[in-house]
Amino acid sequence: MFDFNLMHIVAGIPGLLIAMVIHEYAHAQVAVWLGDFTPRLMGRLTLNPKAHVDPIGMLMLFLVHFGWAKPVMINPRNFKNPKRDDILVSLAGPAANFITAFLALLALLIYSRIGGDMTAGVYLVFQMIIEYNIGFGIFNLIPLPPLDGSHVLMQLLPRDMAYKLAGLERYSFLILIVLLMTPVLSMILIPCRALIWHIFSLLLSPFF
């Protein structure tokens, strides 16, 4: 799981930055579209990595291919339909990661189809963009506060259960460390990765 090969380190940097920036920008943009201008006022409606990158989250993403960025603050009271719109904003980040991964894969396949001569380094960069975006999207769907999956689940649960789930946030980092040190997280995430790749294959099969 831990790969400190210099080429992988260098090639992985674009994938890391793209995964984080695209994810948080999508949260910000969808929130603004739905009527909450808080992300714009806080300078998050930008593709500048400085606005989105969390150093610890980036390190975790680099080490184990799962991590986080600075969360985009929103005010659900500005939404016309707070419950629905909060779910849409929460799902926007992971969805943007999966779309980015798919587009990077599509670009690789098209380039290969037209007989382009791609160096091993460039191919590895695209591979890392795909891998990190899939990993970032899946990780953030875990229903553990403050990850996106928990926001979705809290909107669907009864109020008392949602309140209890929100209370787990103070222990989230410790829970995450335990999950990373045991096979539990892999048992969840590996099938999810396989599912995403299967969906990609189905989408691309009519053309390649």
Q: List pLDDT tens digits, range 80-119.
A: 999 999 999 999 999 999 999 999 999 999 988 887 677 8
1 assigned to some structural domain: no
Q: Are 39 and 72 in contact (CB under 8 A)?
A: yes
148 assigned to some structural domain: yes
35 assigned to some structural domain: yes
Domain that holds residue 42: 6-204
30-49 pLDDT, tens digit each: 999 999 999 999 999 999 99
In degrees, to the nearest 5, what angle opens at C-alpha 54 toward C-alphas 167 and 152? 40
Active site residue 24: yes
Q: Which residue among 23, 24, 67, 176 is the active-site one?
A: 24
In order, the DSSP letters of 26-51 are: HHHHHHHHTT--HHHHTT-SS--GGG
75 assigned to some structural domain: yes
Q: For residue 61, give the nearest of 129, 116, 158 by alpha carbon.
A: 129
Q: Are 60 and 114 in contact (CB under 8 A)?
A: no
Whole-angstrom Cα distance, residue 37 to residue 75? Answer: 8
Number of domains in the chain: 1
| pTM check: above 0.75 | yes
125 assigned to some structural domain: yes
37-83 pLDDT, tens digit each: 999 999 999 999 989 988 887 777 667 656 678 889 999 999 999 99
111 assigned to some structural domain: yes
